[in-house]
């Protein structure tokens, strides 16, 4: 799965979901607003997402992760002014075992993992 160009109005929501029991505290949802990042940080987040997207699947597909006790990362990209940018919000599900270490780091540390 590919992601479109990320403009400054993009907001990234990243959470780990799935598993046997849903425990909200363990999902650790992160919300990253690209406009609030320095250019180098923004590029790092974009690089992580571009690295992760090909390993992901759209929700609702027969092969989508989340069955049984399988954990996965849910990446949601929201454009706050998407009507102007001509983009629809997207969701990508990346199985935990296929997630690149940089995505895990972004989920664990949030914006702190992309500091200069």
Task: Quote the pLDDT of residue 17.
Answer: 87
Specify the pLDDT at position 54. 93
Residue 106 domain-assigned (yes or no)? yes
Is residue 29 in some structural domain? yes
For 20-52, b/e burial (b = at least 16 CB within 10 A) is eeeeeeebeebebebeebeeebbebbbebbeeb
Q: How many domains is the chain partitioned into structurally? A: 1
Residue 5 counted as domain residue = no
Is 3 part of any domain? no
What are the tens digits of pLDDT across the range 2-41? Answer: 777 888 889 999 999 876 655 555 567 889 999 999 999 9
Q: Judge contact between 45 and 51, C-beta under 8 A.
A: no
pTM of this prediction?
A: 0.83
Query: What residues make up the domain containing 30?
Result: 10-114
Q: What is the pLDDT of residue 84?
A: 56
Q: What is the pLDDT of residues 50-100, one digit of tens each?
A: 999 999 988 887 777 766 678 899 999 998 876 555 667 899 999 999 999
- Identify whether 2 is part of a domain: no
Query: What pLDDT, on the 0 to 100 scale, is given for residue 105?
Result: 92
């Amino acid at each position: 799965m590919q992601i479109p160009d990320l403009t400054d109005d993009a907001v990234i929501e990243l959470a780990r979901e799935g598993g046997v029991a849903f425990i909200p505290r363990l999902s650790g949802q992160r919300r990253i607003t690209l406009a609030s990042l320095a250019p180098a940080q923004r590029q790092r987040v974009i690089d992580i997402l571009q690295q992760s997207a090909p390993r992901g699947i759209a929700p609702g597909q027969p092969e989508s992760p989340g069955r049984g006790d399988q954990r996965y990362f849910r990446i949601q990209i929201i454009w706050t002014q998407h009507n102007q940018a001509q983009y629809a919000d997207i969701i990508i599900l990346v199985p935990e075992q296929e997630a690149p270490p940089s995505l895990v780091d972004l989920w664990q540390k949030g914006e702190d993992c992309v500091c200069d």
